Chain A
Amino acid sequence: MTAVEPPSWTGRSLPRVEDPSILRGHGRYVADVASQDRCWYAKFVRSSIAAGRIVGITAPPGVRIYTAADLDGVGEIVASLARPDFVTTSQPILARDVVRFVGEPVAMVLAETEAEAEDALERVVVEIEPLPAVLSVADATADQARLVHDVDFPGDPNTVVDGRIHTPGFDEVFAAAAHRVSVQVGSARQSAMPLEARASHAAYDPATGRTTLHVTTQMPHVIRTGLADVLGIREDDLRVIAPDVGGGFGAKMALAREDVMVVHAARRLRRNIAWIETREENFMAAWHSREQVYDVEGAFTEDGDLLAVRADLRCDVGAYSCYPVTYGVEPLMAMAELTGPYAVREYSVRSRAVLSNKCPIAPYRGVSRPVQVLAMERLMDVAARQLDIDPVDLRMRNLVHEFPHRIPSGLVLDNASHRQTLAVAAEMADVADFRRRQRAARGEGRLLGIGFSSFAERTGYGTPAFAARSAPFELKPSAVADVITPGFERVVLAMDSSAGVTVRIGASPHGQGLRTALAQVISDELGVSPGEVRVIHSDTDATPYGWGSFASRAMVLAGGASMLAARELAGRLRTLASSRLGGLPGDIDLSDGEARHRETGESVPLFVLARDTYHSSHLIPDKGEPALEATATYDPSGTFANACHVAEVEVDPATGAVAVTRFLVAEDAGRLVNPAIVDGQIQGGVVQGIANALFEELIYDDRGVLVTTSLMDYLPPTLHEVPDIEIAHLETTSPQSVTGAKGVGEGGTIGAPAAIANAVSDALGHLGIAVDHIPATPHRLRTAIRSAQAAQAADKTDRETAS
């Protein structure tokens, strides 16, 4: 017999198993569960004042209303880290005495239909005595600043995280450097804006006393823990199900106060209660992100080596700490990862989270990394100009190329291809050709620009990485830790008596195609086809405890655990097969639903081995268990994907509008399990990055009222704003990922803003205009262009007058 390599399912762009039901309109989202149930509906009365004292809440008779006074026995949401600089605050379920942002839930009304609940909402009157609102980091940290929370701030006022790193050699190296280059970058507030806003439906079962919550979340197990803790009930009194989820992007990985109320009311009234968030509420109250300003200074040698980076990072985190990842999520990520793929030796950073009377922040695809990369990539372009070095050469010179490499914050970059992705991107971009086109266009009054962005995307990180956000702490003998440390993923794999394969996972996919991709990985190990593998997820009654789907982690962690479990089960099948076919387990190959002896060619169907196990258990050769099961956990410290993005833009000098005319991605996400899915993640991510760079911005007025509360004010791109996105893949594997796959969920969003900011800055460089703050909206660019043109004209007049 010649050995035949079994076909690999991994690496193929299989159409997704998730799709047929959705395409037929049979998807089941939370609002669909509510629609077909005779449930009552909840609506929330929200504060219209950014900061104030609640003087009175009145509702006419007949309106079923809950206020904070009705919440006896209900706790508050507390999300904390064990760090000396971390200031803990508490999030009440309904505002108690004071309101801290516009949109904060003050009361809940219930009615038998959604329309009647909306009617009831209109009849509730809330009187609030306004207080001065804290609306900027500068105001919040000023000496006599009003405190958003009445707690003790050991450092600056309203400063809830104040992290610092200062490497021992920094001062000397920084002071001695030949060149220092500084940039200030910033991002406006953004909304992740999943197309399905938040929703929940709680059903109380009088027979069991349990409540089933359907909720649009990325982390059902963690949400169940949070709900049980706040409500003071046992976790097994709750079953949490995330049915089809209409996008998350991070905004659905936080415990919502509204969900606590829905479960509380369902339990108290023994009724089914639903809450379907409106788009306006979603903009006001469903978590914001990325309102950040960074001052970054790089110290370079004469030749362009970046020796040291000094940074001051400020994140406006709004009014409360999101559960479970806390309001430390933005500044702590930025502090740890700022220097990215560059071989910086010395680092001095201060990174702060500062409270304000605005909507609290939660993660949004990439979290701080779009701004981190904007900072480093603007620094590279500004330095290139200042040192008169080609920007691609300057990057190439400084990119890490030997691995593993420890960056100054202590993180270790594993195998990656920073220089190679830059080289591939530069070749695709053909900069020399672009410069010719740029010059020709300039002659016609058209402004073209090109911009690069090289970055590392930390993905698939487990418990070790999350533990590093806190200082080491010891558990008290009888008390739980008051800190939540996410990380591992666990799967339970089983083959049934008909040889069907089921895997139950703690991760909670919501559009990423994980069911398809895991089936591909498992099929290769077990020698079955992906159609025979069923993936069960997002139901706390049916899956092992897990942290969910976020942070570009599911393929690495749930994929790794699935591979490990499948290998164990495959070992069991080989043992069973060798007792029938002779030889050793190592002689047996699994493929096409059969176990085959490699030498003799004799085979036995897996179906027969499965029937042996369950139906003739008295004949199991080694007196093994009558089961074909394997459980595995995967909890690595994390692996870095990497990429280089290139944007070409054209700026209309009359309107300030930017057209992204070309977008290139050289991506290295390790081994591609399903290339079509990977490309889909990159494309979707890049478009969210284009949005961050050019369009999307949540705007508060000077009283702290959000003015961008509809899709006519907040502007996600349509197809018209999006170019074709060209993608090239490299596949560098790493010992940090057992499948070889690295995470790829966030990279598009992380790299695109910097590439576009650099491209627009290139287009407008002759006018002295640089894009350091995003989004670069038409209004901002037009204003900058006009003032630059006016200054140039005045300068010319001066010179003419002088001569």
Chain B
Amino acid sequence: MSQTVPVRLYVNGDRHDIDIEPRRTLADALRDDCGLTGTHLGCEHGVCGACTILVDGKPVRACLMFAVQAEGTSIRTVEGLAPDDQQLHPVQRAFWEKHGLQCGFCTPGFLMLVAGQLEEKPETDEEEMRDVLSSNLCRCTGYQNILKASMAAAEEMSG
């Protein structure tokens, strides 16, 4: 199983030319081949959502997609969320201010999920946001502050 294929990924605006086995998941390619370990793996069967990233702007479970399927797409991971070293993305800032994380393992997945939702639909209301957030699992926070943070970010991004 050592036959590799060349794959070109565009991640957070950078081009990555990597040689990988066709069976390599996008999550593994991002982590091991692109060095972007902010995308976490909690279950590797598509339930927990810790590996959620944006592929062409849509939230995707990176553990359920092969890297070769992402050839030519535009990928965003948690490392690409903040505009620079000094500022945070509104969703990141809201999670910090509202204590929306504890151990932080699920956090990148939630950030990408919410950022994807709000960049597409900044006026998302609380009911819809509850549906969106129910995609992912968090074991620490009880979700209360994740919801508060997401709605605070929605307010900022729609205002």
Contacts and interface: CB of A to CB of B under 8 A. Distances in A.
A29 B95 contact: no
Interface string A662-688: 000000000000001101100111111
A512 B102 contact: yes
Given A25-B108, A36-B37, A194 B88 contact: no
Contact of A711 (B35, B78, B137, B146): B137
B117 interface: no
Nearest to A675: B99
A278 B40 contact: no
For B23, B138, B142, which residue has the most chain A Cβ atoms within 10 angstroms? B142
A331 interface: no
Contact of A23 (B43, B96, B146): B96
A683 B144 contact: yes
Contacts of A26: 38, 79
Contacts of A677: 99
A724 B41 CA distance: 28
B1 interface: yes
For A23, A194, A513, A718, which residue has the most chain B Cβ atoms within 10 angstroms? A23
A115 B142 contact: no
B155 interface: no
B28 to A, nearest CB: 8
B38 A29 contact: no
Interface residues of B, number: 57
B65 interface: no
Interface in B79-134: 79, 81-82, 88, 92, 95-97, 99, 101-108, 111, 130-131, 133-134
B104 A511 contact: yes
A718 B96 contact: no
A19 interface: yes
A196 B108 CA distance: 13
- Interface size class on chain A is 35 or more
B105 A719 contact: no
A324 B103 CA distance: 24
A672 B154 CA distance: 30
A662 to B, nearest CB: 14
A105 interface: no
B153 to A, nearest CB: 12
Contacts of B106: 195
Given A16-B99, A36-B37, A719-B133, A725 B32 contact: no
Contact of A193 (B40, B139, B147): B139
B40 A720 contact: no
Interface stretch (A56-64, A200-208, A244-252, A736-744): A244-252
Contacts of A24: 38, 78-79, 81-82, 88, 92
Interface in A412-465: none
Nearest to A21: B104
Contacts of B1: 115-116, 119
Nearest to A683: B142
Nearest to A22: B104
Contacts of B45: 279, 710-712
Contact of A722 (B23, B24, B143): B143
B143 A244 contact: no
Contacts of A513: 102
Given A15-B99, A19-B101, A24-B78, A249 B139 contact: yes
Interface string B33-57: 0011111111111011010000000
A94 B35 CA distance: 34
Main DSSP-derived SS at the A contact region: loop
A571 B107 CA distance: 41
Given A115-B1, A195-B105, A684 B32 contact: no
Nearest to B99: A676
A679 B104 CA distance: 17
A15 B97 contact: yes
A711 B144 contact: no
A720 B134 contact: yes
A544 interface: no
Nearest to A513: B102
A753 B50 CA distance: 27
A478 interface: no
A747 interface: no
A247 B50 CA distance: 13
B42 A279 contact: yes
A23 B92 contact: yes
A708 interface: no
A27 B109 CA distance: 13
Nearest to A279: B43
Interface in A42-61: none
Contacts of A710: 43, 45, 47
A249 B103 CA distance: 11
A720 B143 CA distance: 10
Contact of A32 (B37, B102, B138, B147): B37
Interface in A609-629: none
B38 A684 contact: no
A803 interface: no
B142 A716 contact: no
B101 A22 contact: yes
Contacts of A801: none
Contacts of A312: none
A115 B21 contact: yes
B105 A246 contact: yes
B103 A680 contact: no
Contacts of A23: 78, 82, 88, 92, 95-96, 101, 104, 107, 111
B58 interface: no
Contacts of B104: 18-19, 22-23, 27, 244, 246, 511
Contacts of A116: 1
Interface in A696-744: 710-712, 716, 718-720, 722, 724-725
B139 A195 contact: yes
Interface string A3-21: 0000000000101101110
For A16, A115, A513, A718, which residue has the most chain B Cβ atoms within 10 angstroms? A718
B73 interface: no
A354 interface: no
A327 to B, nearest CB: 24
Contacts of A144: none
Contact of B102 (A36, A511, A719): A511
Contacts of A25: 36-39, 77-79, 81, 108
Contacts of B141: 680, 683-684
Given A24-B92, A725-B142, A718 B137 contact: yes
A35 interface: yes
Given A20-B96, A196-B42, A720-B130, A712 B103 contact: no
A35 B96 CA distance: 27
Nearest to A18: B104
| 9 smallest beta-carbon distances between A and B, as pairs | A25-B38, A511-B103, A246-B105, A22-B104, A683-B142, A25-B78, A687-B142, A711-B47, A32-B37
17 contacts: A16-B96, A18-B104, A19-B104, A24-B38, A25-B37, A26-B38, A193-B139, A195-B40, A197-B42, A247-B140, A513-B102, A679-B99, A680-B142, A683-B145, A688-B142, A719-B143, A725-B144
Given A25-B39, A718-B135, 20 more contacts: A22-B107, A24-B79, A32-B37, A115-B1, A115-B23, A197-B42, A245-B103, A248-B103, A279-B45, A511-B104, A679-B144, A680-B141, A684-B140, A685-B142, A711-B43, A712-B47, A716-B139, A719-B147, A722-B142, A722-B143
